[in-house]
A and B are shown apart, each in its own frame.
Chain A
Amino acid sequence: MFGLDKLFSQKTPSFNLVSPLDGELIDKSAIPDPTFVEGILGPTAGFNPAVGVIYAPCDGKITQMFRTGHALTITSLFGAEILIHVGINTVDLKGKGFKPLVNEDADVKQGDPLIEFDIPAIKEAGFSLEVPLVICNPDDFKKIEFVAPTQVKAGDPICTLEK
């Protein structure tokens, strides 16, 4: 049967996301915001940033750059819809301490810098700097698995998704 062997040898399509920053990956339970702890927006991991730059966790398109520059959404080429939110309640900073580096609808490559943020200034203003990363369309995947809490560098694999 021509082609049948090929059909059966096909693996489940699987995709990786990489760390969007240098720092530490933490369990979502360590994020001081119940929205993220309870995963209301979707499967969630948290990060403690060591350096104030967010990089693209995958190839994709910037779906939204929040007007205050404290968060963005990106749709990956393989269809994951991802929210990266820098700090907790940082919407209240109204953009202070954040510098968006890309525009909405921009096509980006994994590792492109997306947001610069001023860690000392944001801390000084009294805000917590955990960075939740959320997969907002879990229904489109069979499996979503984050790696265990660990030190990370931008570009290290942090999540496997299977369709």
Chain B
Amino acid sequence: MQEIIYKITDPRGIHARPAGQLVKLIKEYKSTCQLGSATNLVDGKHLLSVMKLSLQQGDSLTLQFSGADEKEAADAVLKFLQENL
């Protein structure tokens, strides 16, 4: 399992557009991804669930990847988060 914990810096938080981009990227990998706040993780490949987290600036986003390409998935998603959120 690969885990990322990332603090959201974008003042808009994870609204519709970044949620869509994030889910699209996660879907490119075979590994499963659970993401959310530490106490509420949802399927990272399910757009409506990811949007519903409505994470805001300052919130911590936890992502857990499991599967054959978990390292690649975690690296790519961390890069996306750093560049966009």
Contacts and interface: CB of A to CB of B under 8 A. Distances in A.
Interface string B23-64: 010000000000000000000000110011010000000000
A63 B16 contact: no
A111 to B, nearest CB: 22
Nearest to B54: A67
Interface residues of A, number: 19
B44 to A, nearest CB: 14
B24 A40 contact: yes
Given A63-B52, A91-B15, A35 B20 contact: yes
B17 A35 contact: yes
A42 B16 CA distance: 12
A64 B48 contact: yes
A92 interface: yes
B20 A91 contact: no
Given A35-B21, A66-B54, A41 B47 contact: yes
